[in-house]
Structure formats: structure tokens, C-alpha cells
Structure 1
Amino acid sequence: MEICDTKYLVKIDSPADLKLLSLDELKIYCRELRDFLIDELSKNPGHFGSSLGAVELAVAIHYVYDIPEDKLVWDVGHQAYAHKIITGRRDAFPTNRKLGGLSGFPKMSESEYDSFGAGHASTSISAALGMAVAARLKKSRSKAIAVIGDGSMTGGLAFEGLNNAGAEKADLLVILNDNNHSIDPNVGALKEYFLDLTTSRRYNRMKIHIWNLLGFSPRFRRFLQKIEHGAKSFFLHQSNVFESLGFRYFGPTDGNDVVSLVRALRDLREIGGAKLLHIYTTKGKGYEPAEQNHTEWHAPGKFDPNTGEKGVAAQTLRYQDVFGYTILELARTNEIIVGVTPAMPTGCSLNIMMEAMPERAFDVGIAEGHAVTFAAGMAAAGLMPFCNIYSSFSQRSIDNIIHDVALQGLEVVLCLDRAGLVGEDGATHHGVFDIALLRAVPNIIIAAPADAVELRNIMYTASLGGYKGCFVIRYPRGGAFPKDVLNHECSLVEIGRGRKISGGERVAILSLGDMFEVAAQAAASCGGAHYDLRFAKPLDSALLDEVAANYGQVIVCENGVEAGGVGSAVLEYFARKGYKGDVRVVGIGDEFVEQGSVSQLWEQVGFREKLLKMTSLK
């Protein structure tokens, strides 16, 4: 592709600069901004397709509204790269998602233009409503805008916000950026509903005419609204769900036409109350490979911007791949096994099962709480669900795990992908809290495999049932395993049983999950023993008794927060038994860890330094 000259891009360092452009100049600026994003993201990977699709939207909002006096809340944040560049972060953009650089998501501490942080989905409407109510109470003229898209409207929190906003009648604009995708294609009845709204052209033409007449008297305005409601029922054969919730609905309109967007937003700025503007955009707009393959180009990594060619695919398997192939293998021999994921089939590799057994694998949309309770319902009816959720996203379903699974003793296998530090996505995505959040709950097993073979064995063990409650399997992002690991026949692992890897003197190093290798290296370096706990709950009491009897110093290594993690569990056990050993924990301290490569982040939190100090290595 050819990168266009940057006649306007280099001149825009703030929304105030943007407002000096004419509408025709805005169109040129959008092309320059999109080319800038393509070039930068080809070298420094990030969220690609969503941000390309939202270029005109970001430009139009900043052209019409007075951000940050007006409050702009982005949902998820995948769409916000253009917003960052408009708001003075163009020159810093090459640091995006790097250690010490810009966050990949909106972040309040990064810029006054980021009204609210976003890394998880479906939060924008609730947050923007709070800002709209605050403006009303403070008698401020500030406007509040929520941009929701990339499948986030399927999240329950979005509808809780809509319901409240309609009742509050606050001055709130919700912009539904409908691109029919999150990472994978959107699913569910809501997707089909949006499609009906988008394709009903007769209704939309009439809608525009009716709203253009709303400047008449209040009585005539109410009369026109009644006509419109009847027309809507005739053309769509259903009511508009947003208007049923108390919103004025506008659209759908082309969200990649910056001039039309500006005109629409200017009109909406003058209308009070709760409003929803439905726009449709193309994910990956302006870059043909991304337009043709939305899933692959959501976050493609490095690529050649001229050809679209990416690096050679790895010839090894990641943890997620091992999960995907193993659940399919287990499902082929056990007809009650089903798979569930909230909008991450490709990310967690459940797509492998979905392709082979579409009737037994379910993508429920961005709805983590629903995914867990949906799985619980299937378990109550005699199925064996494997529910795969990224660890940090599972935080959104804690009540469902406790109330709907553990309390009722239902056998649901909860596979937590991306557990531990994940790298460049930063604090919103690190999966470091799951053990601490779940360990106190009865009827929960928490396992962490040390490698791919162990993952297969633990999945097989969980699939056999016979326990009571939720079987959690946590494993990290990435990995590089030879493909022949899939040839290893799955074997049973005794629940709550760890293993002694090597003997030694003076110090025993206990590891959980992917901390296996670093613990093995440390044990070898200091002549200590190495034990693989395998389970954070239940702990292997016999193993811990052996450790307490033979070692005066114990170090627990974990890829999670120290407070409430498996190290805390070991400390609690030693205290209950009255053991006098010196137990130390090496994990994540009382802090939110920012973005960077995983190795950089481990160095930043001082993991190796702590381990060296504890083992008296110099």
C-alpha cells in the first residue's frame, strides 16, 4: 500500500487543532490517520481492525464535542487508537503497549482526554451515565458520550446501564458502533436484531423524516412519535428495544462517513435526554486484508503493510492449542462433554471443537457471568461443561461461580486461559487474582499444570467427574510445545496430590503451574529440593508435612498475587500445624502491574531478585 502524505496529521496535536479543519479536510485527515495507524501497527503490534474501523468516529466526536469538558467513554478500548492520536499522543504512539509507554487502552492517569479506563467490555454505558448524572447534579453543561461496540453490547452490564439510563432520563449519548464482530463474529439474537434494523431501509427513511419534523409543538411531536411507532411495527414487525428502554433511537448510519457523522452528532448534541446513535462500520476499514478476515486481523502481530504478509506461523503448540485439541479428543469419547466460551473461541481455541462438533460447543457472546451459569444449567441437566474464560475476565463471573456452581455442587470445569502475567495488554488483562478470589470458596478445586502433558492429564481427570463443585484449571498465555505432546495418552492425576521433582538440602522450593522451570533452575543452583504442588486447592498435606520435616527454609513460587494465593495457603497450613519453618512467597506484590513483555514485567516486580535473595545466591 502507499502511505499518503501527511498534510494535516502532523498539524493536529489536540482536538482544538482538529476543529480548525473544514469537513473536506476532515476526510483527508482520516485517510492520513488511518495510514499512520497501519504503518505503526505493522511494526509495533496492537489491536488493528477495531481501531481502523473507528477512525471516522473518533474524528467526528472530537470535532463536534468539547472533550475533556464533555466526557467520552470508550468501551473495551480496542477502538481508541485514533482517539489517542488526536489527543496529543501521536509522537508517543510508537511506545504503545511497551514497558513505560502508552497503554493499549484508555487510561485516566495517562491523559485528561481519557475520561474512564477500559480494558474489559460492556462498562461504557454505566460509567458515562454516572458522569451524566454528576453533570446534572453539579448543574454543568457537560455532555456524556459512551461508545460501545466490538460485541460489547452482548454483555449484561450494558443492558443494566441502558435500563437505568432510560429511567434516569439523563443527558447521555450512546453510540453503538456495530461492526458485527468482537474478536470472532458476534453471536446471538441481538446480532440478528441489529441486522434487521440495519437492513430495514423503508423504516429508516421514514425515521429520518419523522425526526426532522420534531421541531414542532410538543403536542404535534407526541403525535408524530405515535405515527413513527406504528410505522416501526409495520416495517420491522417488532418494537425497538432501545426505545422500549427509554432511549431515542437514531440510525443506523454509515460510521465510516465522517461528514455524515459530524452532521448527525451536531444534531444530537442539541437534543437532551437519553439517545442512541446506531452506526455501522467495517472492522479493518481501509486495509483490504483486515476487511476480508476480521478475526485474524483483530491483533495480527507484525506484518508487511504493502503485502499483508505476516511472520511464519510457529510450528509449536501453545497452551490454548493443547486445550482445544484435548477437549475435542475427550468429547469424542465422552458424549456428555460440551464446551462454552464468552466470545473467545479463537483466542482459547474452542473453535477447534466448534468446527468439528458445532452442536456441542457454544460461544455465548461477551457475557462471562452468563457463560458460567449457562454451564451450570447444563451440568444440572447431566452434561459435563468445560467453560473457558480468560483469567482476568473470569473476575466478572465470581458471583456466578460461587452461587450457581460451587454452592450447588455442580460439576463445571472452568478453564482459565491467560492466567498470570500476560504482557503487553497490561493491568486490565493480567490474570493474577483468580487463585486469591476463588481459594476461599467451598466446593472448588484449583489446579495449575506445569506443562502441556500435565494440562492434558488434568483436563482428563476433570472430565471424569466424581468431585463436588467447580474444577478450575489455570494455565498461562503462550508456551511452545512440540506437536507430539498430543500423542501422549491422557492419564489420571490424583486430585490434591503434588509431586517431588528433586531432592536437596537446606531449602525446598515449591512451584505451582508455569513457575515449574524457574523453580527447578533455582533449586539446582542452590542445591535445594523442588516440589510441584499441582493444586492450589486442595493442598497436598502429605507433601507439605514432608517438606516441613526436612527443610528449615521453604520458598513458594507462583504466577499470581501473593496475598491470598497458594503461598498464603502454605503459610496457613504451616501455622495450623504449628510448623516452625521459614516460609517465603515469591509472586506478584500488592500492586497493579503495567504493560511490557512478560520477561520485563517479571524483572520489574523483582521476581528473580527476590528468589536469588531467598536462596542466598550471589
Structure 2
Amino acid sequence: MPTPLLDRVRVPADLRNFSAEQLRQLADELRLETVDAVSTTGGHLGASLGVVELTVALHAIFDTPSDRLIWDVGHQAYPHKILTGRRDRIRTLRQGGGLSGFTRRAESEYDPFGAAHSSTSISAGLGMAVARDLLAAQGGGAGGGAGGGAGAVASLPAARVADRSSQAVIAVIGDGAMSAGMAYEAMNNAGAAKSRLIVVLNDNDMSIARPVGAMSAYLSRLISSRPFLSIREVMARLARRFPRPIAEAARRADEYARGMLTGGTLFEEMGFYYVGPVDGHDLDHLLPVLRNLRDAEESGPILLHVVTQKGKGYQPAEAAADKYHGVVKFNVVTGEQAKAPPGPPSYTKVFANALIAEAEADPRIVAVTAAMPGGTGLDAFEKRFPRRSFDVGIAEQHAVTFAAGMACEGLRPFVAIYSTFLQRAYDQVVHDVALQNLPVRFAMDRAGLVGADGATHAGAYDVAYLGCIPNMTLMAASDEVELTHMVATAAAHDSGPIALRYPRGEGTGLEIPARGTVLPIGKGRVLRQGTTIALLSYGTRLAEALRAADELAAQGLSCTVADARFAKPLDTELLERLARTHAVLLTVEEGSVGGFGSLVAHHLAHAGLLDGGLRFRPLTLPDAYIDHDTPRKQYDLAGLNSPQIVQAARDALQHNTTAQPVRA
């Protein structure tokens, strides 16, 4: 489909010569381009479609990249990428070597802050605003040039172009992200700091307030206008001449009068000047309000409340916002998403089914997630046990301590959170759970590398950050049957916190029992017995370890393959036997340096088993971030597929050609 106006846009400055009518046409073309691009790559569609007009308006009004535009999470930034010089690469989204599915500083100067986890934008924006103010006070300015030209609908005032201390900082945050405490911590600080910051609240579920048509738009333009702000400042100065009680009464009267008309009293109480709600799809409303906010001379933070619709402008996404939040490749005409060929159930589904089976037998089992019921499989649990399922929103810290409170009273809570998101609740895991030895069960989905979501979502660190905590028990499933057993083991474990990890993607195709069997804590298993090389796997690299053993056997090298099952407590009897009876011992894990291999090395060193001829090699994820690609390619790069395991074993053996197994 032709996109004549979009074809003229290389950078956002090109928008600033367009009329309002042209910007509306540009938004239509941008929406079509976004749909077409995501249909070929997959990705986050609904959120991006919902901010098309807002993206156009922000780049038309503000002097990006000199003005800092920060997208919270960044999964809604596909239209932003198209307008900021990346259109020629937009069909490489989430592909190996292509554009990230989120904002990324290294990718473009138009991405001033990288993101993929939620609720960071206001904190980062406030930091940038304070830095701007400090540098301006010290005589340094924020760099960057102005865009636009004569006759542009959103041309920049000449005085503002010359004075870079007037640089704007804009944080765009969705209402889902506003459920996280960090957003309110940032707003509380911003209200006290009084630096000039614009927060755009993208309310795409109408969960805070609805726009009320022309009157709402008129009021928003009025209260954001320079005359209104000037009158307000004059009245504030007059009020300061009266006794304090009268002045305070006048201030509150102003706040509540506007609050009654427009909403936003909460934000006003936190020190923000509230404007809205505004229809986020109507450029006739957005453009004048944003221009007023850009040119406002008063200091202090401002919150602009815009109401948008996820999936706007693409009927299949409008009709099923949940199904089109994140999509695989799809047919643009029908909206039908490509179906994966039939295969084994995903680990996420296996976990959900196993938890439901345990909950059927034990009414004390409850489930907690942080805004990811679908991603963690707990949507199925909620359908079966609606009163025993709790989605606390994007609030991982609260989720963990909430579960700790339930554990105090005898319930058996499972906290299902992606490994990468549990990082956000580390203090709560330590202080509120482990220190009190409470039996909270942590189910960590997306352990290891995660393909197209890249480094920000990789579950690389949980073994390292949990392994150092006293009272913690750690398990990793090597296949879907083991995952079922580990859910049963966690359910039965009442002597302290316990965590199990499992990856994204499908299982191996094994027959899954209706209900798991409780495993003995701290005991591994040997799957293949050999004499020369021992491969001790923790997690789903076990299949690659078995393939490596086959390859080594074909080369005349006898291998033992064992599944550790537990990183803490270790199966020290198995570990010492492997160390004493083999020339080479490799640990294999889909986690970072400092994890399972480090715990093994610690025990071997204290047992004196590293002092002889044993060649010990821990194979972990590298001490580097691995970009988005297919999981297979990511694990090749990490050195954790069977060919790399074979090479590591041979290298270790060649460095020890005269060594004999250490005997007791």
C-alpha cells in the first residue's frame, strides 16, 4: 500500500514541516507500516498500534533527540523506530542481528534510555531532568539541534531553540506499569524535586478515567495553556501575601476544582500538575496540548493523561487485545496468526497442569503472579481455582512479601515469576522469606536464554543470586517429567523456601504423569555410566550433554552423564564419586558465572578434590549479554550445545593426557 508521506520521513525533524492534516494521514500510513512489518517478524503489536498518533504528535511537537523521549518498557516503540531512521530495518525486528524489540541506547540516539522491564521511565526521566538543571546551572548545556521549519504545524519557538536549558524530558508510561511501586517512588521524588518533567500516562484500558468528548479536550487545552498557567502563577503569588491558612486554602481550591472537572487528584497530591484526560487518537486534541506543555514556563512536573486503545486501527487487534499484545507472524488481511506445528506442550503449560494437580489434592496451595498470568500459565490455574489465584499487577516486590504473609498462616504459596523479573524482588526474597525461613515456592519461568526477547528477558542469574542465600533450596528441571516431579516436591516442602527453574519453549516429548512424585531433596541421578569424562548437567542442557556423550563415545571416549537436579543442597556423594572416578568433570548449566558450577567448585575445593589430577571445567553462559536470535544460535554462541560441550571435554582431556582419575 502506498505511503507517500511516510516515505518523506527520514528523521522526526521532517514531521515538523507537516500540517495537522498531513500528520493525520501520516499516522494512518504509520499504522499500516507497523502492521505489515510485525506480520513478517512477530512481536508486540497491540501496544504499538495504540500509540501511533501519540508517537507522531510527540515527535512533531518536541525537538527529539535533543528533547529526551523515554518509552517505558519499550515494547510499544515500533512506530517510534520507524520514524527515527530505522524504517529500512524494521522488518528485522527481534531477528538475529536485527533491531531489538525494545528501546536500546546502542541502537539509536533517539533511544535515550533502554528498557524492557516496566516502570523505569519516570525515574530515568527525572534523573535526566535533574542532570539538565545542574548542567545548566554550571554553565553547560544539553547538546542537540532543533528541527522544523517555517510554516510547520509544530515549529519550535526561536528562544527555545537557542536556550538548550529548556530541553524537555518526556516519559511515556502505560497504566499497567503504573501498578509498580517504582513508578510512585519516582513520582513522589519528582513532586519534591520540582524539576521540569512531562509524564505521559498512556491509559490504554481506560482504567483511570474516560475522556468526555469536546468538553474534556477544551478543558485540557485550557489548563495546559500559557495564559491559564500565567494566571495561576499570579494567583499563587497573591496568595503568598495572605496568611498561610488562606494561601493553603487557595492552593487546595485550585487543585480540587480542576480535579472535579478532569480527575487526577492523586497526581496533584504527589506534586504533579495534571492535564487530561485527552483522546490519544485525536491529533486535533493532542497537538495543542503537547505544544502548550512544551512551551510552559513554570517549573515542576506535569502529568498528561491520554486515553488510547490497544490495537487501534487494526480490527483483529481491536477485537482481541490480549491475543494481539504479542504475536507471531500473521496474515495481514485475515489477522490469522501462524500456528506452530503440533508438538510437545510448553514447559509453562506443564508447570500449570502440575500445579493444578497438586492444588486438587491440597486446598492450602495458592498461586501468585505479577501481571503475567498468561505468561506463567496461571491463567489456567485461575480458571480452576479463582479464589486461590492472585495477580498483584506489576509488583514483584509485593508479590513475594504477600506470599510470605500467606506462608506465615499455613498456606502453601507458589510465586510464578519470570527469572528475569524476580530480580526486582531480591530484597524481599532475602529479608521477608529466607531470613524467616518461610516455605514460599518460587517457580521461575524463562530460565536460560529466551530467543527473540533477547538479553533483557534472559533468565541468566537466578542460580547465582539465589544460591548465596541461606535456607534456600534450588532445583532445575531437565525435562517436562522432571518439572512435574519438582512441582510436587515444592508443594510438599515445608521446611523453608524452595525455587524451581524451567525454560521457555516446548518439552522433549516425554509422557507426563498425571501427578508428580516427590523427589528426595539434594539427590541427583545418573543417566549414563562411563569411565573417563563426567558431564554433570543442571537443567535442560541435559539433552545436549547426552548428545555430546554420544559424540565422544563415537570418538572412543567413555562418558558418564548425570542430572544434578539440585544446585542447593548439592548431591555431594554423587559429586565426589564423579570427581574421584573420572579424569575430566564438566558442569553444564544455562545460567551465569557464579551459579551451579561455582557451587560445585566450592565443594570440590573444600573436599580437596581439585588438588590432584582432576580437570574440572564449568560451562556456563558467558560473562556477556547475548542479543536476540534463535535459541539454537544463542546457545551456540554461549558454548552450551553438544559440539561445544564435546570440544570443551576434549580440550580438558588434552591438557591432562597423563592424569589418572583421583581414587579414594
Asked if Structure 1 and Structure 2 have the same fold, meaning a TM-score greater than 0.5 normalized by the shorter chain, the answer is yes
* 3-state SS in 2 of match to 1:307: coil
Are residues 1:586 and 2:616 paired? no
Aligned residues: CA RMSD: 2.1
Pick aligned residue for 1:266 from 291, 303, 312:
291
Matched ranges for 1:19-418 at <5 A? 19-139=16-136, 140-149=165-174, 151-180=176-205, 194-195=208-209, 198=211, 213-216=228-231, 218-220=233-235, 226-231=252-257, 240-271=265-296, 272-312=299-339, 315=342, 316-418=344-446
Are residues 1:601 and 2:634 paired? yes
Are residues 1:479 and 2:506 paired? yes
Instruction: Give, in whole Å, the separation in 2 of the partners of 1:535 and 1:200.
Output: 59
The amino acid across from 1:134 in the alignment is: A
Shift in Å, 1:32 = 0.7
Quick check: 2:479–2:540 contact (8 Å CA) kept in 1? yes
Shift in Å, 1:379 = 0.7
Quick check: 1:322–1:452 contact (8 Å CA) kept in 2? yes
Instruction: Give, in whole Å, the separation in 2 of the partners of 1:553 and 1:399.
Output: 38
For residues 402 and 247 of structure 1, do their structure 2 counterparts lie closer, same or farther at Cα, with a shift above 3 Å needed?
Answer: same
For residues 205 and 7 of structure 1, do their structure 2 counterparts lie closer, same or farther at Cα, with a shift above 3 Å needed?
Answer: closer
Task: Output one character per residue of 1:12-38: Cα deviation in whole Å (capped at 9) or x when no partner.
Answer: 010111212111001111111110111
Instruction: Give, in whole Å, the separation in 1 of the partners of 2:629 and 2:465.
Output: 25
The amino acid across from 1:585 in the alignment is: P
Quick check: 1:202–1:235 contact (8 Å CA) kept in 2? no
For residues 52 and 145 of structure 1, do their structure 2 counterparts lie closer, same or farther at Cα, with a shift above 3 Å needed?
Answer: same
Shift in Å, 1:525 = 2.1
Task: Output one character per residue of 1:593-617: Cα deviation in whole Å (capped at 9) or x when no partner.
Answer: 1111111111223334542222229
The amino acid across from 2:46 in the alignment is: G
Consecutive aligned runs of 4 or more in structure 1 exceeding 6 Å deviation? 199-205
Quick check: 1:248–1:274 contact (8 Å CA) kept in 2? yes
The amino acid across from 2:380 in the alignment is: I
Partner residue in 2 for 1:614: 648
Pick aligned residue for 2:570 from 523, 539, 557:
539
Task: Output one character per residue of 1:537-583: Cα deviation in whole Å (capped at 9) or x when no partner.
Answer: 1110110111012112001110011x211111111111010013211
The amino acid across from 1:214 in the alignment is: L
The amino acid across from 2:257 in the alignment is: A
Instruction: Give, in whole Å, the separation in 2 of the partners of 1:233 and 1:10.
Output: 43
For residues 219 and 464 of structure 1, do their structure 2 counterparts lie closer, same or farther at Cα, with a shift above 3 Å needed?
Answer: same
Instruction: Give, in whole Å, the separation in 2 of the partners of 1:203 and 1:281.
Output: 15
Shift in Å, 1:56 = 1.0
The amino acid across from 1:504 in the alignment is: G
Task: Output one character per residue of 1:352-400: Cα deviation in whole Å (capped at 9) or x when no partner.
Answer: 0111211110111011111111111111121111000011111111111
Larger Rg: 2
For residues 228 and 483 of structure 1, do their structure 2 counterparts lie closer, same or farther at Cα, with a shift above 3 Å needed?
Answer: farther
Shift in Å, 1:231 = 3.4
Partner residue in 2 for 1:434: 462
Pick aligned residue for 1:522 from 548, 571, 591:
548
For residues 478 and 355 of structure 1, do their structure 2 counterparts lie closer, same or farther at Cα, with a shift above 3 Å needed?
Answer: same
Partner residue in 2 for 1:577: 607
Quick check: 1:402–1:441 contact (8 Å CA) kept in 2? yes
Quick check: 1:132–1:170 contact (8 Å CA) kept in 2? yes
Quick check: 1:215–1:221 contact (8 Å CA) kept in 2? no
Partner residue in 1 for 2:529: 503
Instruction: Give, in whole Å, the separation in 1 of the partners of 2:180 and 2:315.
Output: 29
* 3-state SS in 1 of match to 2:620: strand
Are residues 1:419 and 2:447 paired? yes
For residues 438 and 355 of structure 1, do their structure 2 counterparts lie closer, same or farther at Cα, with a shift above 3 Å needed?
Answer: same
* 3-state SS in 2 of match to 1:73: strand
Unpaired runs of 5+ residues, structure 1, are 181-190
For residues 111 and 569 of structure 1, do their structure 2 counterparts lie closer, same or farther at Cα, with a shift above 3 Å needed?
Answer: same
Shift in Å, 1:11 = 1.3
Pick aligned residue for 1:489 from 515, 524, 528:
515
Instruction: Give, in whole Å, the separation in 2 of the partners of 1:413 and 1:24.
Output: 56
Quick check: 2:526–2:562 contact (8 Å CA) kept in 1? yes
The amino acid across from 2:632 in the alignment is: S
Shift in Å, 1:218 = 3.1
Shift in Å, 1:228 = 4.0
Quick check: 1:210–1:228 contact (8 Å CA) kept in 2? no
Quick check: 1:380–1:410 contact (8 Å CA) kept in 2? yes
The amino acid across from 1:25 in the alignment is: Q
Quick check: 2:354–2:515 contact (8 Å CA) kept in 1? no
Shift in Å, 1:202 = 8.0
Quick check: 2:346–2:507 contact (8 Å CA) kept in 1? yes
Instruction: Give, in whole Å, the separation in 1 of the partners of 2:419 and 2:232.
Output: 54
Instruction: Give, in whole Å, the separation in 2 of the partners of 1:349 and 1:313.
Output: 18
Instruction: Give, in whole Å, the separation in 2 of the partners of 1:151 and 1:426.
Output: 22
Instruction: Give, in whole Å, the separation in 2 of the partners of 1:249 and 1:464.
Output: 51
* 3-state SS in 1 of match to 2:540: helix
TM-score by length of 2: 0.87
Partner residue in 2 for 1:184: none
The amino acid across from 1:243 in the alignment is: E
For residues 321 and 42 of structure 1, do their structure 2 counterparts lie closer, same or farther at Cα, with a shift above 3 Å needed?
Answer: same
Instruction: Give, in whole Å, the separation in 2 of the partners of 1:115 and 1:391.
Output: 26
For residues 341 and 66 of structure 1, do their structure 2 counterparts lie closer, same or farther at Cα, with a shift above 3 Å needed?
Answer: same
